[in-house]
Structure 1
Amino acid sequence: MYESLDEFKLVCSSHRFRCPSCNEISHEPFFCSSEAKPKCNWKAYGLQGCLGKGHRFAIKDTFLANPKVHEIFMPVELEH
């Protein structure tokens, strides 16, 4: 749970995310934009989500008005 959207953006400041399907680096948190061949096209919002390898979070500022847990590809900063 992050206090605000700004706090979340600090964690993902490099804009590098690990695709759960091809394990390449994507610059998009919700879909694979890697240059891997063949093209991956994996989406975090698809049927299988992030295969248990993603980052699930909520923003405290907006949680009461919109109680939603988001899932994105794992930010590289949080992998270890």
Structure 2
Amino acid sequence: MKIKMLVGLAGNEYSLSPGDERDFPQNEAIRLIDAGYALPVAEEKTERAVSEPAQERRGKRGKNVVSHEDNDSGDK
């Protein structure tokens, strides 16, 4: 049974911190839950949707600020 620890717990085979999840034998998991050391983890069998990568979007190019038209700047 998978449980989520509320407190730290260490043994010969594990060292768990609060928030860690681990599988324990059914009777051991129930003992830890009843003692208030852990909570059962609901085993969800849900499918995860995989989204396709977003297509690259390119914005419109900015206005050209340099004029290509002849202007009367006196460079004749």
Q: TM-score, normalised by structure 1?
A: 0.24
Higher relative contact order (CA 8 A, sep 6+): 1
Bigger Rg, which one: 2
